[in-house]
Amino acid sequence: MDKISQPKGTRDFGPAQMAKRSLIIDSIKKIFQRYGFQPLETPAMENLSTLQGKYGDEGDQLLFKILNSGDFLKNVNKQHLEAHNWKLITGDIAEKGLRYDLTVPFARYVVMNRHEITFPFKRYQIQPVWRADRPQRGRYREFYQCDADVVGTDSLVCEAEIILMIKDSFGVLGITDYSIKINHRGVLSAVAELLAASGKESSLFVAIDKLDKIGEEKVKEELIERGFESSSLPLLFEILTFHGNNQSKVEFLTQKFAASEKGKKGLTELTQVLELVKNFGADLAHVEFDISLARGLSYYTGCIFEVKINNVSVGSVGGGGRYDNLTAVFDSKEKSSGVGFSFGIDRLYDALEELNLFPPDAAASSTLLVAYLDNESFSYGLKIIRHLREQGIACEIYPDLTKVKKQMEYADRKKIPFVIVIGSDEVKSGLLSLKNMKTGEQHKLTHEQILDIVKK
C-alpha cells in the first residue's frame, strides 16, 4: 500500500488544534461583528478570468488551476498541444482556479451585487486560500485569511476602527506586547519626490519593505541596482531611521514635506486617525507611526497598517490599508474606495502557542464522562447523561461495558476533567461519586451538586 498522506503544504486540524483555532477565529469574528462588520463567504473556485492578472506574474503562476470536467482536450489548440506548450494550453484545459486571497472575490462580489448592497458596506470574511508556493516552515499551500473591509466611504473613522479592532482582538487573546505600525502612502510618495524618484515609487516601496529583514546596507545595494542615485540615499535613510515618538515624527516630516501636497495630506490624515482613536476614548499605546513601513501591494493609496507581536519568531500577524478603488480591476464604473485589514490566523496561532497563551483546557473535549460497572448502572447513566446535556453540559458515556480502569484511561487521554462512576450503590442511593481528574479528589454528591460543579 502507498504511503497515505495529505498533499504537500496542507494540514489536517485535529480536535486539539481545532479548539485553539476556533478560539482565535471566534474571538475575532465576535469583535468584527461588534464593529458592525457582516459576514461574507465566496466559493473556493473562481473563474480564472476573475483571478488572473490580479496578483502579478508571480501570483498567476501560484494559482491552483482546476482541470475542466470531461474531455478537457476537446477545445485545445492542436499546434500548442503538439509543441508541448503547456503555458499556452493551460487556458484551454482549465477555466477555474482556487481562490488566492479574499480581496479579489470580495471585489467580484461587490461588482456583482452593487445595486443591492447598502454602502458603506462593512464585510468580514474568514476562509481558506490556496497558493502553489513551495511549502516551508510557516508557509502552507492552504491557509486561512481573516479579512475585514469597509467600502464606499473615505472616512478615516474606518482606519481608527481598524486600530481599535486590533487592540480589542489582542486584548481578548491576551497578547500584550505588540506594535500596530501605521504609515501613509502619501508619506512614501513624498519621500520618493524628495529623492527625485517619483517614477520609481514601487521599486522604492519594495526595497524599503525589506529594511526590517535584510538591513540598511542590503537595501542600499538594492536601491542602487534599481537605478537610484547613491547621492540621494543619505536623505532617504535620515528619514527612514528617524527616531522619536509619533508627534515628533510628524513634526520632523512636516518640515521635510513643506513643498509636497501628497506628503502634507498623508501627515494630516495620519494625525486625524490618531486623534479619532483618542476621540473614541481609547489610548494610543502600541500604535506607532513607522516611516519605513511600505507594504508591497500597489493598490494601497492611503494609510497602511502592519501588526507585529514582539518577542516571537512569527513577526507580522496582519496588515492592511486604504485603497482608492477596490473594483477597478473589474472595470466597474462605480468608484469603490475603502480600507481593509487582514489577520493571518496561522501566524496568530503560532504566536499564541509560543507565548503559551492558549488556556490549558482548550481541547474541545467533553466536560464529563459517565463510567459504570454493570448494565444496570449503564441504564442509570444514560439518564444522567441526558439530564446533563439538557443543561448544556458536553458529556459522554463510555459506549462499551468494560473495566472502569479502561473507562478512566479514556477520560484521561481525552483530557475530560470530570468522571462520574456508577455502581449499584449509586443507583440505589442516587448519590453519585464525582472524580476531579486533575486533583484526584472524589466526592459523593447529588445530581444538582454535580451540575453546579461542572457548570463552572
Return the residues of window 53-72 that contact its own copies according to CB under 8 A.
Answer: 61-62, 64-67, 69-72
Q: To the nearest whole angstrom, how small is the minimum distance from the Cβ of residue 7 to its own copies?
A: 5
Q: Which of 225, 234, 241, 280 binds its own copies (CB under 8 A)?
A: 280
Q: To the nearest whole angstrom, how small is the minimum distance from the Cβ of residue 319 to its own copies?
A: 21
| Residue whose C-alpha is closest to residue 282's, from 159, 164, 172, 156 | 164
Q: Which stretch binds its own copies (CB under 8 A): 52-60, 91-99, 304-312, 440-448?
A: 91-99
Sheet holding 38-39, edge to edge: 38-39, 121-130, 142-151, 338-344, 316-323, 300-309, 178-184, 287-289
Residue 98 or 291: the one with the smaller Cβ distance to its own copies is 98
Distance, in Å, from the CA atom of 194 to the CA atom of 258, rounded to the nearest integer, reads 11
Chain positions 391 to 410 lying near its own copies, rule: CB under 8 A, are 392-397, 399-400, 410
Q: Is 108 helix (H, G, I), strand (E, B) or coil?
A: helix
Q: Do strands 287-289 and 178-184 pair parallel, antiparallel, or not at all (unpaired)?
A: parallel
Q: Which of 44, 172, 284, 362 binds its own copies (CB under 8 A)?
A: 44
Q: Which stretch binds its own copies (CB under 8 A): 230-238, 258-266, 360-368, 448-456?
A: 360-368
Residue listed under C-alpha cell 510628524: 250
Q: Is 350 helix (H, G, I), strand (E, B) or coil?
A: helix
Chain positions 92 to 121 lying near its own copies, rule: CB under 8 A, are 93-96, 98, 108-109, 111-113, 118, 120
Distance, in Å, from the CA atom of 104 to the CA atom of 174, rounded to the nearest integer, reads 32
| Residue whose C-alpha is closest to residue 227's, from 256, 207, 257 | 207
- Site residue total, its own copies (CB under 8 A): 104
Q: Is 230 in the site for its own copies (CB under 8 A)?
A: no
What does the per-residue mask of binding to its own copies show for 139-178, with x meaning CB under 8 A?
Answer: --xx-------x--xxx-xx-----x---x----------
Going by the DSSP 8-state scheme, the letter that residue 6 receives in this structure is P
Q: To the nearest whole angstrom, how small is the minimum distance from the Cβ of residue 368 to its own copies?
A: 9
| Residue whose C-alpha is closest to residue 298's, from 323, 277, 262 | 323
Contact 122, 163 (CB under 8 A): no
Chain positions 281 to 340 lying near its own copies, rule: CB under 8 A, are 281-282, 330-331
Q: Which residues does residue 139 pair with via DSSP β-bridges, in sequence order?
A: 136
Residue 69 or 255: the one with the smaller Cβ distance to its own copies is 69
Q: Which of 73, 196, 235, 285 binds its own copies (CB under 8 A)?
A: 73
Distance, in Å, from the CA atom of 67 to the CA atom of 79, rounded to the nearest integer, reads 20
Residue 153 or 449: the one with the smaller Cβ distance to its own copies is 153
Residue 128 or 423: the one with the smaller Cβ distance to its own copies is 128
